[in-house]
Amino acid sequence: MVSGSRCTPSPPPASIPWTDQVSDMNQFVTDVVVAGSGLLGLATAFELLSRDLDVTVVGPRTGDHAGQASRAAGAMLTVFSEVEASHDPQRVSLEVGERLAARTGYEAWLDRIGTASKRALRLLPGVWVISNGYGPDDAANLRAIAETAKTHGCRAEFASPSAVPGLAPQVRAHEALWLPDEASVDPTALVEALATVLTAHPRCRWLDTTVTTVSERGEHVAVDAADGSTVLAAHLVLAAGAGTTGLLAPSLAKQVEAPPLRSGRGVSLLARVPFSLPAAVRTPNRGFACGSHMVPRGDGTIYLGATNRLSTEPDYSQPAALDEIATLIHDASAELNTHLRDAALIEVRVGHRPVTLDHLPLFGRTGHPMIHLATGTYRCGVLLAPHAAVIVADGITAPGSTATHPYSPRRAMHLPVLDDLIDGATRGLVDMLCQPGGNLPPGTHEMLERFLEAALHELAAGTSTRAVAVRRLWQRAPMAECLPLLLDAAGRIR
């Protein structure tokens, strides 16, 4: 039983020992099947096993894990540094509260995994956030971050940029903010440690394959896999990232009524650098992304990230584009450390972050009593993993206990109106267009903002083929990150 769990586990309805098999040797039965082998799926399986349930994980154990967000993540535990000055205060209070709840028990969670796996897992404490001339809202964002941290009883200390270890930018930094209660972790080491625990656990089976279809069979959920096997379960946890809801058979999808998911495609790099970096360094969020950041990985290796491009139909096989890599290297060299130009490239990673239309995660029971979600975490999946696991497990072992949670898949979603969003988001659009490191003549940044705002308003209200196509795309992804796609769509249509 996990310390801090909010309920006493009890067997779910129609529980069947996982050791039983039906007549077909490729069919298995279990209490809970977890579809997906990213961090959220493995964390949920780990939590369910601690509640004396039999678990089957269906997802890749080997291979390159193409497109998986967990292994491509920077894994900064950014409770406060994702806050922006323009964010709604009630929304900030909600999200920071949930992130802080996850952060509070993170060390204990790592200790449990480390003990069970016999692997050393550690957090690197602290995150630096710096501001510079590239971000017109940086100063306001740093103050919003600091005020939010102090409101929640955590430290936030302003310092001279010269005091930031590893910071040697081309563009002069104006301010630096030290957040000692944030941290970073190596997500690959964490995922492998969890995998070691699960594969050795006597009540866990891991099928090294992918889910193809989920359907209902009698009193159980049936999960069909690419290797021809089928798992029958009393409960299913869908934790397959941005592709989660596409696994459901049409008749079942109607009952589940899962909110739509989109992908925030991110490209990141691993590099060996000629300088020391004891703690993560980042800029505030910018241009619909999380800014430039360097995260130490040990032995002179750093993680450099990350881009963010919204996709309504993610292609997990698509490799990184050269302009994505160029943006990473140029911006990080200019804003964080010029010696990155001399770094040795180790690996390029591509991950698809699952994101909902209202940007809040999906944790817990859906409209179908046997199907639960653990996805939609966007840029906070590594931080929220243990918290998500408890919420999902509570929904299984204590039905109804999480129905009113703000991250419930059954919540009402409040989506923005395109005209309202255009008024407040064109600055981010211009920032994105100017990457990597583009400079506009004085005064033209605001001029371009006003022009784009007017043009997008015209498209939103127009009747032309171009306007209709833009509105159709917006209906599929009504969120700020869609604005670059709208601009691209408007330019392609003749």
Both tokens assigned to 410: 């059954």
Specify the pLDDT at position 435: 63
Report the C-alpha gap between 471 and 333 in whole angstroms: 38
Give me the pLDDT at residue 389, please.
Answer: 98
Tokens of 485: 């796609």
306 prior amide bond cis, ω within 30: yes
- Peptide bond before residue 125 is cis, with ω within 30 degrees of 0: no
Domain residue limits, the chain: 418-492
Per-residue pLDDT of the chain (494 residues; tens, 9 = 90+): 333 333 333 344 444 444 444 446 689 999 999 999 999 999 999 999 999 999 999 999 988 888 899 989 999 999 999 999 999 999 999 999 999 999 999 999 999 999 999 999 999 999 999 999 888 889 999 999 999 999 999 999 999 999 999 999 999 999 999 999 999 999 999 999 999 999 999 999 999 999 999 999 999 999 999 999 999 999 999 999 988 888 999 989 999 999 999 999 999 999 999 999 999 999 999 877 888 999 999 999 999 998 899 988 888 889 999 989 998 999 999 999 999 999 999 999 999 999 999 999 999 999 999 999 999 999 999 999 999 999 999 999 999 999 999 999 999 998 888 888 887 777 777 777 776 566 677 677 788 888 888 888 888 888 888 888 888 899 999 998 888 888 888 777 76
Least Cα distance to 263 among 248, 277, 243, 246 occurs for 243
Name the residue type at position 429: L
For 335, list phi and psi in degrees, rounded to 5. Answer: -95, -25
The C-alpha angle with vertex 192 and arms to 165 and 356, in degrees rounded to 5, equals 80
Instruction: Give residue 348's pLDDT.
Output: 96
The predicted structure's pLDDT at residue 438: 64
Q: What is the pLDDT of residue 24?
A: 61
C-alpha to C-alpha distance for 205 and 270, rounded to whole angstroms: 32
Closest CA to 329 of 317, 339, 314: 339
Q: What's the rounded Cα separation, in Å, for the pair 365 and 147?
A: 34
Residue type, 327: T
As a whole number of angstroms, the distance between CA 289 and CA 150 comes to 24
DSSP 287-342: TTBB--EEEEEETTEEEEE---EEESS--TTPPPPHHHHHHHHHHHHHHTBGGGGG
- How confident is the model at residue 338, as a pLDDT? 97
Q: What is the pLDDT of residue 210?
A: 94
